[in-house]
Chains A and B, each alone.
Chain A
Amino acid sequence: MPYVPHSDDDVRRALAAIGVDDVEALFADVPEALRDPPIELSAPLDETALLKRVDELAARDRTTGPDFLGGGLRAHFIPSVTPHLAFQSEFVTAYTPYQPEVSQGILQATFEYQTMMCELTGLPASNASMYDGASAVAEAALLAVRQTKRETVLVSRGVHPETIEVLQTYLWPLGIALEVIELEDLTTPVPDVSSEVACVIAQNPSFVGTLEPMRSLADAAHGAGALFVAAVDPLSLAVLASPGEVGADIAVGDGQTLGNPVGFGGPSFGFMVVTEPLLRQLPGRLVGQTTDVDGKRAFVLTLQAREQHIRRSKAKSNICSNHQLTALMATINMAALGPQGLREMAEGSVRRAHQLADALRAAGGDVRTGARFFNEFVLCIDREPATLRRALSERGIRAGVSVPEAFGLGFAVTLATTERTSDDDIAALVSALGDLGVLASARQEVTA
């Protein structure tokens, strides 16, 4: 049997040592009525048959061709060295580093991760990772509620729609109100913040690609004694003002763009970095530096009195397993690329997006952006986004993330670029959209 080493003789020996006659005796505590339920599974496959089945299935997935999909996940360049190093057996098959003497690999790499996230975000205290960007935003809101003892959360419409859904899920059982700030010109207006508000949450670049007025939003929050939560794309921070620089109290986001594949949406990892006064409110694991008995520098899980295994029902969060391995991917990837490489990726993505927007406009496309946009923007279209996606896919192009109705744009999609986007990719998309009549219809409207 796969993965189980026991020979018949091993089983006999073990049973004799235990002092029972057969293996069924080991399950005597299971009530008769519960034993041997009808479970339906298909017949086992050997490795060759399994991989054949996988190949058949994988052949039904499009993973090549021009790709303009974003919406929080993008297929950036990942150097071969990154997964090669991160997927070493010792990292992949270790548990949480509870025994620090034999877990310095994970612990030190996590300390390096925390340092890199502090450098990127300009804030001083990072935890060891969260599940994903959306749940990290929700945990940030809960942190703000704990810290301010206030019960309303203000979130910009420009925050990823799925993130807003997750916020709702986390806030309703605690009776925390969630209010949405609607966009004006695809940009978050500076809101009136009441004294009931625990935090203001904005995303930069926003779901529709806009560079938000982060400094003004932070000031508005602070003016009312609320915290400001910046949900950011970490790769953008190679060039954009950091959350620390704009005055955010908490930086959160999804780390996929730092070196994890899009992976059909997971696993990537979430991150959370905060100001010094919020340190002891952080959910999840933290790695700290210390010394060992010989005076050597060493690393250990620390400030665990915040966590569920110590504080149980009084813990800051129920999070236990986090996303350490995908955070390690990001750590190694950031070290592989360095500030220069990350900057080149961010800049390349920005330039390609502006080239694409220009090309679409020139071809009559109804491109919409805020005053400034990063590497993603809106194209208003004349049909259901899913219909357009299908039509483009049939032409070998992956593009067109739906913009939900709540944005008030009618039928609209976002288009995203990376440093991997080529001139040919852009030409292919513009031409396909033209063929499909998506651009022509806009031109007619404009001239009419």
Chain B
Amino acid sequence: MNASHNAPVGVDAADRFRDASFPLIFERAAPGRRAARPPVVDGAPMEELLGEEHLRAQPPGLPEVAELDLVRHYTQLAHRQFSIDGNVYPLGSCTMKYNPKVHEEVAKRFQDVHPYQDEASAQGVLTVLAELQDDLASITGMDTVSLQPAAGAHGELAGILMIRAYHEAKGEGEQRRVVICPDGAHGTNPATASMAGYDVVEVPTGPDGEVDLDAFRAALGPNVAAVMLTNPNTLGLFETRILAIAEAAHAVGAQLYYDGANLNAIVGRARPGDMGFDVVHLNLHKTFTTPHGGGGPGTGPVGVKAHLAPYLPAPLLVRRDDGSVGAEGQRPTAIGRLRSHYGNVGNLVRAWAYIRTLGLEGLRRVSTMAVLNANYLRVSMREAGYQIAFDRVNMHEFVARPPDGLKTLDLAKMLLDYGVHPMTVYFPLVVREAMMVEPTETESIETLDAYAAVLGQVLRDAQRDPSLAHDAPRNTPVRRLDEVGAARRPILRYQVPKA
């Protein structure tokens, strides 16, 4: 153990950030300490009850820490973390809007129900889920929704598998081998198509930032199973030819898949179901503001048109004749389960609370102000000297890039010193040095002004003195990590000293 880690904890956190490596919880441990005490049940020894051969030789090397040390450790770690609650966080494609605190209270009220308890004794949470299922169907313009998938990518898998099952039922399973994605698509789209056993064909983005309709038509054929799109697309532009795209896809028997990551732009104002999409997944951790939690858990419900409903993964919630809510068993044609139980219920109830709080007018206000904010920031960034990839009215996000000669990575690191989080960088892949900005509706105009001012400042600084760009960030707990070294010689765990 490194002696420097034995310094008293939390005496001067700021100094520790600057001078020393921050200790691991293992380095704050000492044998015999502990924080929490479960009830102790006395009785026969494990050798007797379980048999010697089933027991482990050594206890696991978990840390032994006192409660206050535990609290200081994870509190100080939290302080080494940007978040929506602390910082502007306009990550494009991620919809980092404010996560209302009342949702946390709502989630707590349902957290102790067990999925295997008697249905009659779980009518509260089942009612919430049934209502959410209906609300999401109405919001997306689909006929039926399954709440099961655990994230956007999981919803994608559910959706593409349903499409596959549909083609197979029609005897076209062998013939349809291809899924079409735009070249600007999120990585999960092609990865999902592969997991569902399909080959991927990418179609190019046209000069207006939308799917190139001629190239798209040329890629279509009787071998195409599905077309995966998001609308607005990953450049933040509404696909104005969406009805023609849908018609062309359906004309060759392909199914149209809607990646709902960008629904925040149109929620309450337009519906994928009306655009001709056959399947939709939603990222409730985006549009419906369930917290991202540093990477998850998310939730990715899928909605389908009636012709795909036979393939939906159970459990689906149904209202019984006596007015109660129950779970329907797996339909024989279904693609099967994607995970255990009902879904990420803790998040589903938060999304339900959000919809209940806003109603339709509130949701329309969400998309309207999300689009207003994004356009306002686009104009401000242009004025601050950035180039806009497709300079037209955009939806909830847009893609910019720095003037030639400057690197997006440097500017992103410079932003960190101002206490603001950068936008999504280097995505979508179709724009070089991409800066994808999504402010969301919950930021005020003043906040956007301040963000734009910082963007202007870092641009001027970088142009004036390249070393300022190269050396940023200066004030963060750690700076410019050796990522190449991390991958070349992976260290994925701490070597716990063994007694």
A292: chain B residues at CB < 8 Å are 478-482
Q: How far is the CA of A61 from the CA of B120 in the complex (A)?
A: 8
- CB <8 Å contact, B121 and A398: yes
Give B342 Cβ to nearest chain A Cβ, in Å. 5
A120 touches B (CB below 8 Å): yes
A407 touches B (CB below 8 Å): no
CB-CB under 8 A for A92 and B297, given A109-B74, A289-B486, A351-B44: no
B274: chain A residues at CB < 8 Å are 33-34, 37
CB-CB under 8 A for A393 and B120, given A372-B50, A419-B39: yes
Partner of A115, one of B339, B441, B494: B494
A203: chain B residues at CB < 8 Å are none
- CB <8 Å contact, B62 and A14: no
A372: chain B residues at CB < 8 Å are 49-51, 54
- CB <8 Å contact, A43 and B62: no
Partner of A351, one of B36, B43, B486: B43
A53: chain B residues at CB < 8 Å are 356
Give A3 Cβ to nearest chain B Cβ, in Å. 5
Stretch at the interface among A126-134, A181-189, A191-199, A438-446: A126-134
- CB <8 Å contact, A6 and B339: no
B410 touches A (CB below 8 Å): no
Give A103-135 as 1s and 0s: 1 = Cβ < 8 Å from B's Cβ atoms.
Answer: 111101111101110111010111011011111
B77: chain A residues at CB < 8 Å are 104-105, 108-109
- CB <8 Å contact, A321 and B368: no
Residue of B341, B347, B421 ringed by the most chain A CB atoms within 10 A: B341
A341 touches B (CB below 8 Å): yes
Q: How far is the CA of A242 from the CA of B57 in the complex (A)?
A: 9
- CB <8 Å contact, A126 and B340: no
A15 touches B (CB below 8 Å): yes
A303 touches B (CB below 8 Å): yes
Partner of B115, one of A25, A73, A87, A338: A73
B262 touches A (CB below 8 Å): no
**15 new A-B contacts at CB < 8 Å, known A36-B269, A92-B85, A109-B77:** A2-B100, A3-B442, A11-B369, A37-B269, A90-B85, A91-B78, A91-B294, A104-B81, A104-B477, A114-B492, A132-B340, A266-B340, A296-B20, A298-B478, A335-B62
Give B81-122 as 1s and 0s: 1 = Cβ < 8 Å from A's Cβ atoms.
Answer: 111111101010010111110101110011111111111111
Q: Which residue of B lies closest to A242 (CB)?
A: B56
- CB <8 Å contact, B238 and A162: no
A97 touches B (CB below 8 Å): yes
CB-CB under 8 A for A297 and B22, given A3-B100, A101-B473, A350-B50: yes
Q: Which residue of A lies closest to B51 (CB)?
A: A372
B384 touches A (CB below 8 Å): no
Q: Which residue of A lies closest to B365 (CB)?
A: A1
Within 8 A of A (CB), among B109-139: 109-125, 127-128, 135, 138-139
- CB <8 Å contact, A337 and B38: yes
Partner of B26, one of A40, A115, A347: A115
Residue tally, chain B, CB below 8 Å to A? 199
- 5 residue pairs of the A-B complex, CB under 8 angstroms, read A27-B266, A72-B340, A106-B295, A162-B340, A393-B118
B75: chain A residues at CB < 8 Å are 85, 88
A277 touches B (CB below 8 Å): no
Within 8 A of A (CB), among B343-371: 343-347, 353, 355-363, 365-366, 368-369, 371
- CB <8 Å contact, B41 and A25: no
A429 touches B (CB below 8 Å): no
Chain A interface category by residue count = 35 or more
Q: How far is the CA of A176 from the CA of B240 in the complex (A)?
A: 41
A339: chain B residues at CB < 8 Å are 59-62, 64
Give A17-60 as 1s and 0s: 1 = Cβ < 8 Å from B's Cβ atoms.
Answer: 11110010111111101111101111111110011011111111
B65: chain A residues at CB < 8 Å are 335-336, 338
- CB <8 Å contact, B494 and A374: no
- CB <8 Å contact, B83 and A92: yes
Stretch at the interface among A148-156, A222-230, A279-287, A360-368: A279-287
B80 touches A (CB below 8 Å): yes
Give B449 Cβ to nearest chain A Cβ, in Å. 10
Q: How far is the CA of A98 from the CA of B416 in the complex (A)?
A: 12
B376: chain A residues at CB < 8 Å are 14, 17-18
- CB <8 Å contact, A174 and B127: no
Partner of B153, one of A263, A300, A308: A308
Q: How far is the CA of A163 from the CA of B481 in the complex (A)?
A: 39
B270: chain A residues at CB < 8 Å are 27, 30, 34-35, 37
- CB <8 Å contact, B82 and A290: no
Give A261-303 as 1s and 0s: 1 = Cβ < 8 Å from B's Cβ atoms.
Answer: 1111111010000000001000001111111111011101011
- CB <8 Å contact, A309 and B22: no
B437 touches A (CB below 8 Å): no
Give A98 Cβ to nearest chain B Cβ, in Å. 8
- CB <8 Å contact, B113 and A419: no
B34 touches A (CB below 8 Å): yes
Q: How far is the CA of A305 from the CA of B151 in the complex (A)?
A: 21
Give A94 Cβ to nearest chain B Cβ, in Å. 4
- CB <8 Å contact, B152 and A321: yes
Q: How far is the CA of A120 from the CA of B496 in the complex (A)?
A: 12
Give A380 Cβ to nearest chain B Cβ, in Å. 18
- CB <8 Å contact, A57 and B114: no
- CB <8 Å contact, A114 and B481: no
- CB <8 Å contact, B477 and A240: no
- CB <8 Å contact, A81 and B125: no
B193 touches A (CB below 8 Å): yes
Give A302-345 as 1s and 0s: 1 = Cβ < 8 Å from B's Cβ atoms.
Answer: 11110111111111011111111110100011111111111111
Q: How far is the CA of A118 from the CA of B393 in the complex (A)?
A: 50
Residue of B70, B81, B362 ringed by the most chain A CB atoms within 10 A: B81
Give B173-191 as 1s and 0s: 1 = Cβ < 8 Å from A's Cβ atoms.
Answer: 0000000000000111011
A144 touches B (CB below 8 Å): no
Q: How far is the CA of A309 from the CA of B426 in the complex (A)?
A: 11
- CB <8 Å contact, A389 and B117: yes
A317: chain B residues at CB < 8 Å are 191, 195
Give B99 Cβ to nearest chain A Cβ, in Å. 5
Give B366-399 as 1s and 0s: 1 = Cβ < 8 Å from A's Cβ atoms.
Answer: 1011011101100110000000000001010000
Q: Which residue of A lies closest to B150 (CB)?
A: A131
- CB <8 Å contact, A69 and B114: yes
CB-CB under 8 A for A15 and B372, given A168-B336, A174-B197, A321-B285: yes
CB-CB under 8 A for A105 and B81, given A287-B492, A320-B153: yes
B251 touches A (CB below 8 Å): no
Stretch at the interface among B154-162, B214-222, B453-461: B154-162
- CB <8 Å contact, B493 and A91: no
B105: chain A residues at CB < 8 Å are 51, 54
Give B93 Cβ to nearest chain A Cβ, in Å. 10
A102 touches B (CB below 8 Å): yes
- CB <8 Å contact, A332 and B74: yes
- CB <8 Å contact, A321 and B151: yes
Give A420 Cβ to nearest chain B Cβ, in Å. 6
Partner of A99, one of B355, B360, B421, B427: B421
- CB <8 Å contact, B477 and A112: no
A90: chain B residues at CB < 8 Å are 78-79, 81-83, 85-86
- CB <8 Å contact, A99 and B445: no
